[in-house]
Amino acid sequence: MKIKSYAKINLTLDVLKKEKGYHKILTIFQQISLHDTLIFKKISPKNKPMNLGITLTCGNPEVPLNEENTVIKAANLLLKNIPAKKQKKLSSYHVALQKKIPLRSGLGGGSSNAAATLLTLNQLWHLNLSRKKLSRLASQIGKDVPFFLHGGTAVGKNFGEQIVPLPSLPKIPIIIFLQNYKKSTKDQYAALDLKKCGRQTSLTQQLITQLKKTPQPSKNSPAKNISIKDALNYINATSHNDFETAIKLSKNPQINKTLHLKRKLLQIGASNILMSGAGPSVIAFYPNAKSRDKAYQQLSVPGQIKSSTL
């Protein structure tokens, strides 16, 4: 079984406060077409591993293949919630992970892999766990993992694990720019000046309101998506990220390079630019594929990826 594991960006990201060791946030997640691929292949009973679950391989040497990997974490978490008698009847699987989502990029690759594993093994093992139950398990792996069970466009509340689906955006062409510094999400949060955070939540609410006005599909009428032009207007008026405006330069001087890149991209035709998650990836939006492809060729810098919203 071949499964696509999609990346995400954040259209808005407000860091509200720190509580119980985690940061409360308000964000709008958006699925994009960039994806990893997970190939699940049943293991012969003769070669069944002692610990059941799954085995994992990946062509990227930077990807851990042990319990640090979110694919393994997801499988082990499911097993813990299955009675021992039922576990003995389960098939084991080998997973070949084909990585396209860059590591530590703010695009949620590891979280997406975990969600894809939960959904796939729930099906292959005939567990019939509800989406609500899967979401509870997902949040134990990472606070943004529940979003990837839903995909599309959605609000993330509390610590990011409370998901409220929104009408989906149209397919907007984008370029992802990978900057040459990689800090962990934990380090990025530590570099925030919380006194400067959470000041633009009204913009997030404004975008939520605009998206909710999109006509919903019904039995008698198909979905009527908003136009790319209108969607970009909404995004241009409301997108923001506290990791751009409230980061302590002493903790992460590289943020200046991010701001410089944004100015350069606007000069050559991007409709809007924003940083995804805790960074460092920068996302440039374009009104059509032609203008995106032109900018892609014009820049021709290492670490740029063509994609689109889904």
| 198 neighbors 246 (Cβ within 8 angstroms) | no
The 8 Å CB, 24+ separation contacts for 132-135 are 135/161, 135/163
User: Which listed residue (14, 36, 144, 242) is catalytic?
Assistant: 144
Query: Which residue in 64, 54, 57 sits closest to 120, CA to CA?
Result: 54
| 3 neighbors 278 (Cβ within 8 angstroms) | no
- Residue 144 bears catalytic tag: yes
- Residue 8 bears catalytic tag: yes
CA distance 172 to 309: 5
Query: Which residue in 241, 231, 301, 232 sits closest to 265, CA to CA?
Result: 301
CA distance 169 to 260: 28
SS3 241: strand
Cα torsion 202, 207, 208, 214 to 10°: value is 150
Pairing of strands 93-98, 22-42: antiparallel
CA distances from 201 to 166, 193, 255 (A): 17, 16, 22
CA distance 144 to 284: 22
User: Which listed residue (8, 73, 143, 183) is catalytic?
Assistant: 8
CA distance 240 to 235: 9
Residue 172 Ramachandran class (φ > 0 left, ψ -120 to 50 alpha, else beta): beta
Q: Please identify every residue annotated as catalytic.
A: 8, 144
